[in-house]
Amino acid sequence: MFNSVFHCASTRLAGLLVLLLMVGTIPALVASEEIQWRETVEDTMSEATKTGKPIMMDFYTDW
């Protein structure tokens, strides 16, 4: 009885570890495309409109 409970728990733990490994590595493999930085908002908006991709604008100041 104890062996079957222990085996079931270790199987679940192994499955959980494999799942966590996959969740941690698959996004890194999918996101292999590098960020293409643009210099002007006009160029960026034009390209985003053509490709249908969203843009991210990062504002920074050192006040």
pLDDT tens per residue across span 30-63: 666 677 777 888 988 998 999 998 888 888 888 8
- Type of residue found at 55: I
C-alpha distance from residue 1 to each of 6, 9, 47, 52, 63 (Å): 9, 13, 64, 59, 68
Tokens of 15: 């499955």
**What's this model's pTM, rounded to 2 decimal places?**
0.38
Q: Is the pLDDT of residue 11 over 60?
A: yes
More confident residue, 41 or 24: 41
Look up residue 24 and give its two tokens.
Answer: 């941690």
